[in-house]
Amino acid sequence: MPLSIRQLAFVALLLGTSHTAWAEFILFPELNGIARRDIEPHKIAIPHGGYPLRENQPDAALDIFYSADYGRLRVLAEVDIAREVDAEIERLQAGWLLGSETTAWIGRFHTPLGYWNTQFHHGSYLQTSATRPGIMEFHGLKAPLPLHIAGLLIEGAHPLENQEIHYQFSLGVGPNLQHHGLEPVDFRNLDNAGSHKLNAAVRLSYLPDPVIPDEIGGFAAYTIIPSIHKTIREIRQTIAGAFGNWEHERLRLIGELYFVSNDLVADSGTVHASFVNYNLQAEYTLHPNWTLYARAEDTLNAENDPYLDIFPEFIRRRALAGLRFDLTHNQALKLEWAGVTRQHDRFNEIILQWSAAFP
Amino acid sequence: MIVRRIFCTFCFVYGLFALAGHSALAAERSLVLVRSEQATVPPLTEQEVRKLFLGEVLIKNGQRVQALRNLTDPFLYEVFLQKIVFMSARNYERQLLSRVFRLGGQRPPVYEDLNQLIAALKSNPAAVTFMWEDEAKTIPGIKVSTQLWQGPIE
């Protein structure tokens, strides 16, 4: 397929900035072997745009990250190539370094929500576990929250003696609701992007020491999600929540709490629904190369929720345990067992994952 | 009697050697931040050095400071990570990667060859790196900016 003018401009931007000394190009590959058993019910209707649940599923993905600085101009691009999903420009941002602590970005970026979405996202190697919480899934009929937005993002830090307050404010356009799930602004196909409306988000966090990863904070977002579904005109979604990451010697705890309120607007009237989701992950380093971990995640008021029913692959409850082995300084093997409950089915699964970061 | 004298002399000499050996093993060394002589980067605080080497942006006097990682001496690098960054090498690499992935920017470039490191330092007036103070004083064209740590090395 011939490249469009926009794609050529994007490539030119990358090549142009790659001549600076301040550039970074990192590949995050991953290979997954997934075995599912005890699937209930056995015959699951395949939703429009979805994929059948298979007992044994190999999977592969490659995340390509690029960042370059040209003076105070910072460019960041991230492309994710995954099986069964088109290659997607996850992030394409241009930022201006206003000072040591503050950057103003325009482009497509991660919505400043929670901990997982801002810390790990597609870089599986960076997270200890093989999977991420269901609420933080980013593609298709398993992803109920707008995790990518396009617009303006201001992020920075306010020092308080030896502590820091981190802030992120974003204003832009969020996704629309297609038959295959939420669809953020796609820079490759702006002409057929459909209607996108307001998304505003804020994330604040406190770091007791800015050079260690301990962090506690809160966030809120409001999004108007236009829909192409016949029965829903648009969804007005409000999200609020809290998160924390705490590390002490060999122990690490990561937790998130989400309150999500949706007004589903139809020609016949508005239906209100809301749910609460939480996840808590504990990690224990047995040895510098071996980490044991477990995670619990659950959603309250999820059953028969008219908004979550649009996302039948959403994992609303999961209990998992796993073991990570760092093969080298940039490669990891993870073995994870999970009991999974989605909107309309449940199963047990074992995942073996290899992930890396090169160079 | 002669045997006793020889034994005492032996003990004395052995003690001297042992003391000398001990003091050599526990010699004080000083870890410093260095820059080129032409550089205008002001002295940095320890907190600024930590953030800079964790890949964060540091702008001083309107210019962006660049950190260069000195891996010409693995022991020096280990001391730098332990005493200044307070992380193991593995944790430090993961933190760097995580920050760059989240915020953009670059991991500080690594130099395993001293001549290349010095050349990079001299070519960029906003660049800084870390060295042993006694080594830094023998290299023409570079200047100690800040003392980062001093203590016995065993």
ipTM: 0.86
User: Does residue A320 lie in a domain region?
Assistant: yes
> How many contacts, defined by CB atoms under 8 Å, are there between A and B?
73
- Residue B120, pLDDT above cutoff 90: yes
- Residue A176's domain comprises 33-58+100-356
User: Does residue A67 lie in a domain region?
Assistant: no
Contact B104 A119 (CB under 8 A): no
pLDDT at A44: 56
> Quick check: B50 and A211 in contact, CB under 8 A?
yes
User: Does residue A68 lie in a domain region?
Assistant: no
Contact B59 A69 (CB under 8 A): no
Identify the residue with better confidence: B46 or B68: B68
* Distance separating alpha carbons of residues B51 and B63, to the nearest angstrom: 16
Residue positions counted in chain B: 154
User: Does residue A223 lie in a domain region?
Assistant: yes
Which range (A321-325, B23-27, B45-49) has the least confidence?
B23-27
Give bridge partners of residue A57 from the DSSP assignment: A34
Taking Cα atoms as reference points, which of A171, A200, A134, A192 lies closest to residue A339? A134
pLDDT at A19: 47
Tell me the mean pLDDT in the region B20-34: 72
H-type alpha helices, A29-95: none
- Residue B142, pLDDT above cutoff 70: yes
Contact A210 B47 (CB under 8 A): yes
Mutation target among A13, A14, A19, A24 for the B interface, most CBs of B within 10 A? A24
* Distance separating alpha carbons of residues B46 and A162, to the nearest angstrom: 11
On whether any CB of chain B is under 8 Å from the CB of A281, the answer is no
Per-block average pLDDT, block size 10, for chain A (359 residues)? 47 50 87 90 56 82 93 92 78 91 94 93 90 91 93 94 93 92 83 81 94 93 93 95 95 97 94 96 94 97 91 94 95 97 92 95
- Residue A248 belongs to domain with CATH number: 2.40.160
User: Does residue A323 lie in a domain region?
Assistant: yes
Residues of chain A neighbouring B106 (CB-CB closer than 8 A): 22-24, 67, 69
For chain B, list the domains and their CATH numbers: 28-152 (3.40.190.10)
Cβ partners under 8 Å of residue B115, min gap 6? none
Contact A93 B59 (CB under 8 A): no
Six-digit token string for B43? 């002295």
> Quick check: B12 and B19 in contact, CB under 8 A?
no
pLDDT at A5: 47
Residues of chain B neighbouring A26 (CB-CB closer than 8 A): 97, 100-101
Contact B47 A95 (CB under 8 A): no
User: Does residue A199 lie in a domain region?
Assistant: yes
pLDDT at A2: 38
Taking Cα atoms as reference points, which of A165, A170, A156 lies closest to residue A110? A170
Which helix H or strand E contains A317, and what residues bound it?
Answer: strand A315-328
Six-digit token string for B37? 């002589």
Taking CA atoms, B73 is separated from B29, B57, B131, in Å, by: 14, 26, 9
Q: What are phi and psi of B7, to 5 degrees?
A: -65, -45
CA angle A222, A224, A229 (to 5 degrees): 140
User: Does residue A66 lie in a domain region?
Assistant: no
Structure confidence at residue B32 as a pLDDT band (50, 70, 90): very high
> Quick check: A150 and A199 in contact, CB under 8 A?
no
User: Does residue A290 lie in a domain region?
Assistant: yes
Residues of chain A neighbouring B47 (CB-CB closer than 8 A): 162, 210-211
* Distance separating alpha carbons of residues A258 and B19, to the nearest angstrom: 64
Residues of chain B neighbouring A357 (CB-CB closer than 8 A): 97
How many domains in chain A? 1
Contact B90 A288 (CB under 8 A): yes
Taking Cα atoms as reference points, which of A318, A359, A298, A308 lies closest to residue A129? A318
pLDDT at B24: 47
- pTM reported for the whole predicted model: 0.85
